[in-house]
Amino acid sequence: MGYFFYLTLSFLYFLLFINGAIGDPLTIGSTCKAASQSDSKLSYDFCVAALKSDPKSRTADLKGLGIISIELSISNATNVVSNIAKLLKDKSIDPFAKTVLEDCLDLYSDAIPTLKEAVGKFNSKDYYQANVDVSSAMDASSTCEDGFKERKGVVSPLTKENHDIFQLTAISLAIIEMFH
Ligand SMILES: *[C@@H]1O[C@H](CO)[C@@H](O)[C@H](O)[C@H]1NC(C)=O
């Protein structure tokens, strides 16, 4: 009887410990610290600010933070698509910049459904496909930015947007990797 009680008590402590280990120290700070250590291009400060921008992140576990990060990329990419559409309406736009912007529009329009698929794959523990999907959205941001570099004197109007998507997808990839 005493032994059983002891076991029960130990089990309770164990549960509290697990809960503490999984629920508490997995704050945004420690997740972003681990993520930015695993990817030298990922900024810790960007990661913290981005995840904190969603109030759900305060009570989210690691998996929740992963989903939140992908959702941030989806809403970001959606905003970028409408920004590009606005830029394309400008009649005075340089013809070269226009062709690149059109490519960027295609890239980001494709990235949105791909990121939505990534949420489902991540939820169903298909970390491989989630990684492939998020990586392709990350590639969209660098392909878009590189397009403007192909002609001297052309300045990318999307540097901040591409940088933000790159960082957001880097957060997702680092978190997906933690489940791998
Ligand atoms: C994209 O996300 C970043 C980080 O959360 C934010 O600072 C930026 O305003 C967002 N951009 C758009 C166009 O939604």
**Would you kindly state where each structural domain of the chain is located, as residue ranges?**
3-179
- Per-residue pLDDT reduced to its tens digit, 113-129: 999 999 999 999 999 99
HSE value, Cβ hemisphere, 13 Å, CA-based, for 73:
38
Measured in Å, residue 2 CA sits from the centre of ligand 1 at 58
Provide the 8-state DSSP code for 41.
Answer: T
Residue nearest (by alpha carbon) to ligand 1 atom 9 = 76
Q: How confident is the model at residue 11 (pLDDT cuts 50, 70, 90)?
A: very low
Per the confidence metrics, is the pTM higher than 0.95?
no
Which CATH topology does 3-179 take? Butyryl-CoA Dehydrogenase, subunit A; domain 3 (1.20.140)
Round to whole Å and give the CA distance between 99 and 167: 25
Cα angle vertex 135, ends 134, 137, to 5°? 65
- The predicted pLDDT at position 26 comes to 67
- The predicted pLDDT at position 20 comes to 45
Measured in Å, residue 20 CA sits from the centre of ligand 1 at 32
> Ligand 1 pocket check: which of 43, 44, 76 to mutate, most ligand atoms within 8 Å of Cβ?
76
